[in-house]
Amino acid sequence: MRSLNILVVDDSQLTTKKIAQMLTVMGHHLVASAKTGEEAIKQYAKHKPDFVTMDITMPDMDGIEATKRILKENPDALIMMVTSHGQEAMVLDAIEAGAKGYLLKPLQAEKLKANINEIYEKYGDNID
């Protein structure tokens, strides 16, 4: 798999740094980060990343709403929820919103890598 430009959305800067570090080790590139849903939409429009990791609980707009709005304008966007919420109803909401995958915190590099690879292999055909 080629190196991906990835947008990381999380209101915790420390979590963003942790994900960025893991992505770097995997050979990917943190193209931008966002701390809110609104910011995520703007950063997506600006950078058109290959992949997005999206938190759910954030100030102002949550990750599920941000996912819906990004996908409305960019139906091919590859968005994976990375969240502490393990509740089934929350997972279903995210999938219904169009998320391609769901990773539960605490973060583990191997799981992050496996999920990105799986989603990219399954849905990444539209990415050159």
- Joined tokens for residue 126: 């539209």
Which residue number, 3 or 13, has a Cβ lying nearer to other proteins? 13
Least Å from the CB of residue 80 to other proteins: 16
- Residues 6 or more apart from 64 whose CB is under 8 A from it? 56, 81, 93, 94, 97, 99
- Chain positions 31 to 70 lying near other proteins, rule: CB under 8 A, are 57-59
**Of 38, 71, 104, 111, the one binding other proteins by CB under 8 A:** 104
- Cα torsion through 11, 101, 119, 104, rounded to 10: 60
Q: How many whole angstroms separate alpha carbon 108 and alpha carbon 112?
A: 6
Q: Which of 84, 114, 118, 127 binds other proteins (CB under 8 A)?
A: 84
Identified binder of other proteins from the candidate list 1, 3, 21, 118, rule CB under 8 A = 21
